[in-house]
Chain A
Amino acid sequence: MNKQLGFLHNSEKCVGCRGCEMACKNLYQTDISQRWRQVFQIDENAYPLPSRMFISIGCNHCSEPQCMKVCPVGAYTKRDDGIVIHDDNRCIGCRLCVMACPYGRPQFNSVINIVQKCNLCYQRVDKGEKPACVASCVAGALELVQINSSLDAKTGVLKTLPGLPSPSITNPSIRFVGPKQGKQVRRD
């Protein structure tokens, strides 16, 4: 595989506005059970100063997708560009993938009894457009990037942030810029 598309999330820029989360739902009009993209707050004690810090995560389109490995009906495929696609029409709703994914990204939809997940807006990507989450990000904190060694060599690019599962499990196609903390004048 030559290419691996993925996300670069910049926690220094992200203000946790959750626009990406709802822009995804707006485009696909998903059921309430589906949060393909989700903004998580980082534990405020994880850094020297307490503050509101965030991670935005969709499907990580992992190099070693556990969802795909456990799926008994071949509902998952990985494209040449690295996007992991879930085929809703093949899915039997057995939920093995839900259990296998350490990030909780495939999610069971009890209205239609199948699992659904973020397919990285591949139809938009194929047309040269940005995924809905990236396009909606007012802060410019979310980018669609090629995950490769030159990205990893850049200063400040991290493979994980506090609270996330070890990247060694699935080799996720997401990178981060960590939160930056300014000076705080506190009264406690």
Chain B
Amino acid sequence: MMKISRRQFLGATAAVTAGAGLFSFEMLTKLDPASAAADNSETKQFRNVCPRNCYDTCGQISFVQDGMLKKVDGDPKHGYTNGRLCVKGYTYTRRVYSPDRIKYPMKQMPRGSGNWTRISWDEAMDTIAKKILDLKKRYGSTLPICFDKYSGNFGILHYAADGTMSSIGYTTRAVGTPCWPAGIDAQTYDFGTLYNNDPEDMVNTKYLILWGQNLAWTAIHSLPFAQKARENGAKLVVIDPILTSTASKADLYIQIKPSTDGALALGMARYILDNNWVDWDYARANSVGFDEWIDYLKNNVTLDWAASKTGVPKEIIMEIAREYATSKPASMWVGYGMQRHTNGGQNVRIIDALGVMTGNVGKSGGGVNYGQLETWGFNYGAMSYSAPKGSRGIVGANGKEGDRSININNFAHDVMAQQDPPVKMLWLACRNPGGQDPDTHAIEKMFASMEFVVSVDSFFNKTVQMSDIVLPATTHFENWDVNASYWHYWIGINEMAIQPMYESKSDLEIAMLLSKKMNALEAGSCTYPTSGSEQEWLAKEFNAALNASLGISNYKELSNGPRKVKMPPAAWSDGKFRTPSKKIEIHSNQAEKNGLPALPIWVEEMKAPEKYPVRLMTPHPQLGLHSQFQNLDWMMAANPEPKLEIHPNLAAKYGIQEGDKVKVFNDLGDITLKAHLTRTTSENVVVSYEAWYNKSNYNVNYTVKAIPSDMGKQATGNNGLAFHDNFVDLQKV
């Protein structure tokens, strides 16, 4: 555990720039709690939005005194997060003032040595710009430069990082999303896009199935709405291979065999059909291919089959089928974990069909709820710059030159595979592939083969450790932004609450700075603007339609509180589906064209290979979000090391006892961690939550293969990752 003495701190920051205040945690600590609770008129409050990759995207109020962030609370004007944060959100002062923060641009010589030297912003920009121009000269294009950005910060102005790349020429881009694309495609084939009911509408449901969704850890602010529904008599059913904290609260918990969710839904559908609880009117009026699927159910699905496939007894399938079909309205929330399988998207399509057959789509209190992007109607001006005249790229299907796309979900392999020209340089923003991509060994190898790597980050994580130059990123308290959620319907402004710490800059400022340098070195080599305040840029992200949907005439009104986009509480209540046929496509020609079954029928799950009989599931952690938060000192104190959750029966087979060190391995790699014996996991499933612990090389992805899930290509460019189809063996160390 780190300890920060004032002297060490001063030593480490002897050369901070003028304006950046000296800081130690003791300055935040109140020896006399009375001072904490005392009114202080000098405290300024700002509105912020937590920009992490999270359902909840909380409205925050930051409390600032003498330029220092003193604490962060929930914004009471936010109707979904309602003035409260989660365990992670309350630790933000530790992120902002962490002594581990990257304080100024630094270069590492040689890469991977840990031998970092502070450099000036000018030297950093000069080095990077010269490298870009050098590669362009050598290869005749900027295609050797590969850009990988994803979910480290979902603020709209952070798309400036994408803009940086567009404005220097055509580059190689990591395309796709690792998290949820199979489910997105499932809903795209079925409904035209993903679109969930307002989560606040959950209070109106009479029956709630959380299908592979653990809101207690990943969407805590939905809990009160689910609770309210239960107070009104709704039954809560949780289907999950892991008995999560959410599942522990359910009226009925079903420990399904992983990746067989579609079989359970098919069994339910068959029983609903046999008892004629089908909403024929809704299904036939609103969908195509429904009767074809009914024939499939009649000919191919039996309850006995569903029971043996899923491990769920027939009576239970009958019970939930009856209750789901006859409680009106009934709601399902499909979690992202359950689609991280080789048949994950297909399983979501089957669950969608179950919602359609019971008439629960388009209804308040109903829905097959997965996520939405309806509220993201910004201009994306920060990313919309075109390549300089004369830039050379890859000729696309439209005959025009453009960027070269590679698969974000097979990043290591695809970067290495590029020829003519090869990839020589990486630019990473809001992204930590060293921590989060599958097959960490392959990622390490790929990074080692690069000529030059630039990352923009706040901490020396695995990706930064493999970089030549790191640029210090601001936290969201140190820049302006605007944020929407992929779950609730609220939009909030993120005000600059404190000055950027040390020499940190936002992706937007970096974009402008690099453009200045590029153009100084070679006029016309970068089209990105070189001026404009963050607030000016922010203003440009709004348009008349967005303003109208928020009931504002100027974005500045968001400083009075977050606003909810005006949409009906139930998705698809207008019946205007966005598929080619404008109906729900139970039969999807699009799916068929992409080599998938046209109908939501059963597709076999991936089986454990003989050599590696145990499934290792690596779901989201409680005290972190991917590689964020768990490294902070408060989190390390609360959860100092990773554990392997293992069923006592499985542990007995390997002679493993509580606290024993266990090596978890397969042909790809291994991890070693302490065992925690628990009956909250299935007998043949071990669980370790993905996370980056401070000063630790622990990373579940050393064992995870880049196996694609079945869907994702249609809407997101590439298929997802079957993170949970990961098989290992165990050994007591």
Question: Which residues from chain A sit less than 8 Å from chain B, CB to CB?
Answer: 13, 15-19, 21-23, 25-33, 35, 44, 50-53, 88-89, 111-112, 119, 121, 123-124, 127, 135-140, 181-188
Contact = CB atoms under 8 A, between A and B. Distances in A.
A50 to B, nearest CB: 4
B311 interface: yes
Given A88-B32, A123-B33, A187-B311, A26 B90 contact: yes
Contact of A138 (B217, B223, B244, B248): B223
B671 interface: no
B255 A44 contact: no
Given A123-B38, A188-B683, A19 B634 contact: no
A184 B90 contact: no
> Which of B32, B216, B636 is the most central at the interface, judged by chain A CB atoms within 10 Å of its CB?
B216
Contacts of A33: 637
B31 interface: yes
B32 to A, nearest CB: 6
A117 to B, nearest CB: 10
A81 to B, nearest CB: 16
A29 B679 contact: no
Contact of A15 (B88, B220, B634): B220
A26 B221 contact: no
A186 B255 contact: yes
B520 interface: no
B316 interface: yes
Contacts of A18: 87, 622-623, 638
A124 to B, nearest CB: 5
B41 to A, nearest CB: 15
B253 A35 contact: no
Nearest to B312: A185
B37 interface: yes
Would you call the interface of chain B mostly helix, strand, loop, or mixed?
Answer: mixed
Contact of A13 (B86, B90, B227, B649): B227
Contact of B220 (A13, A17, A51, A123): A17
B84 A52 contact: no
Contact of A139 (B26, B90, B227, B257): B227
> Which of B38, B73, B249, B649 is the most central at the interface, judged by chain A CB atoms within 10 Å of its CB?
B249
A15 B622 CA distance: 11
B678 A50 contact: yes
Would you call the interface of chain A mostly helix, strand, loop, or mixed?
Answer: loop
B86 A17 contact: yes
Contacts of A185: 252-255, 312-313, 316
Interface in B1-34: 1, 3, 25-26, 28-34
26 contacts: A15-B245, A15-B246, A17-B220, A21-B638, A23-B85, A25-B90, A26-B71, A26-B91, A29-B71, A29-B93, A30-B29, A32-B633, A44-B679, A50-B679, A88-B31, A135-B84, A138-B86, A139-B223, A140-B224, A140-B227, A183-B252, A184-B255, A185-B253, A185-B316, A186-B255, A187-B682
Given A88-B31, A140-B227, A52 B680 contact: yes
Contacts of A112: 31
Contacts of A182: 236, 249-253
Contacts of A50: 243, 678-680
A28 B638 contact: no
A27 B236 CA distance: 34
Given A28-B30, A186-B679, 16 more contacts: A15-B223, A15-B245, A17-B217, A17-B622, A22-B89, A25-B90, A50-B678, A51-B247, A52-B244, A52-B245, A111-B3, A136-B84, A138-B220, A187-B255, A188-B682, A188-B683
Given A35-B637, A50-B678, A29 B30 contact: yes
B647 interface: yes
A47 B33 CA distance: 39
A49 to B, nearest CB: 9
Given A32-B637, A182-B252, A187-B257, A21 B223 contact: no
A27 B84 CA distance: 13
